Amino acid sequence: MRMENVSPLVPPSGREAVLAAWNEEGRVLDAIRAGDRGAAEELVERTYSAVHASLYRMCGDSEMAADLTQETYRKAWEALGGFDGRSQFFTWLYRIAYTTFLNAIRRPRRMTPLEEAPEMQDGSPAADDVLREREEGARLRAAVMRLPDELRLTVTAHFWGGLPVKEIARMERITGAAVRKRLHKAFSLLEAALDEDQR
C-alpha cells in the first residue's frame, strides 16, 4: 500500500465560502489583462486550492490532482483572452479543470485504486470506520464517474466543485430547472449503481 504525506482532509465548504465571497474578480481580471503579474498571482492564490480539491475528488490521487491543477492553469493563461465573463471566473476555470481531468483519464494512465487511498494521520477514527468510509467514498466516486457525461459534469461541479445551480446553468447554457432535473436523474442512477455494488 502506498503511503502519502498529505495535509489533513478538510471539508470543501470553507474554501468555497471564500470563493463565493470573493467579489473583486472583475478588478483582478482587468489588472491581469493589463499585464499585472501580481494580479495573476493573486488569482492563483484564491483559486488553486479549490481547483485542486475538485480534481482530487474526481481522480482520488493528490499528486495527479496537483499535476492536473498545474495543467489547468497553463491552459487558462492561454485561453484567458476568450473568457467572456458570462459566468464567474471560477466556473470557467472549473470547466477547464474538468476537461483536463477527462483528457487525463482517457490517456493510458492509471487512477488510484481503493487500496492506494491516502493514509489517515494520527488522531483519526477507528480503523474499521476509516476503512468503511474509504470504501464508501471510493464506491461513490466510481459511481459518479460512471454517470453519463452531462450528469457527471453537473454532479461534480455542484457537489465537488461547489458551483451553485445558477452558475452551472450559465456554464452549460441551460436553465436552472434543467440543472435540477439533471441532478435528480443523476441521484436515481447513483442510487441504482450503489445498490448494485452492495449486492
Partner 1 sequence: MSANRRSELQRKLRATPAPEPPSGLAGRIKGEIPDPLRIDATGKPQRAASSLRLSMGIAASVLVLAVSSFILLRVLSQDQERGTRLPPASVRIPPKREPLFRQAERAQAPVPAPGADAMQGASNEVSAGGSNTAVREPEAAIAMGSRTEPAMKTTQERALPAKIAPAQKVDEEAERETIAQPAAEPALHARAAVAEGKMANAAPSAANSSAVAEAIVAPHIDAEATFAPPGNSVFVRITPAAAPDAQIEVEGGRKVADGLYAMEGNRMTIRMRYRSGGREQTLERTIVRADARTWEQTSQQTKDAVSKAKNPPE
Q: Which stretch binds partner 1 (CB under 8 A): 51-59, 95-103, 105-113, 122-130?
A: 51-59
Residues 53-112 close enough to bind partner 1 by CB under 8 A: 53-54, 56-57, 62-63, 65-66, 69-70, 73-74, 77, 79-82, 84
Amino acid identity of residue 166, one-letter, is K
Cα–Cα dist 79/120, whole Å: 38
Residue 114 as a binder of partner 1 (CB under 8 A): the answer is no
Could you give the CA distance from residue 79 to residue 137 in angstroms, rounded to a whole number? 34
**Closest separation between CB of residue 39 and partner 1, Å?**
9
Q: At CA 158, angle to CA 136 and CA 13, rounded to 5?
A: 75
Decide whether 174 or 183 has the Cβ nearer to partner 1.
183
Q: Give CA–CA dist 171/123, Å, rounded.
A: 40
Q: Using the minimum distance from each CB to partner 1, give the nearer residue, 99 or 108.
A: 99
**Cell numbers at 171, concatenated:** 456554464
Residue 30 or 108: the one with the smaller Cβ distance to partner 1 is: 30
Task: Establish how many alpha carbons lie within 13 A of residue 115's alpha carbon, considering only the half-sphere containing its beta carbon.
Answer: 1
By CB under 8 A, residue 130 contacts partner 1: no
By CB under 8 A, which span of 5-13, 19-27, 90-98, 122-130 interacts with partner 1?
A: 5-13
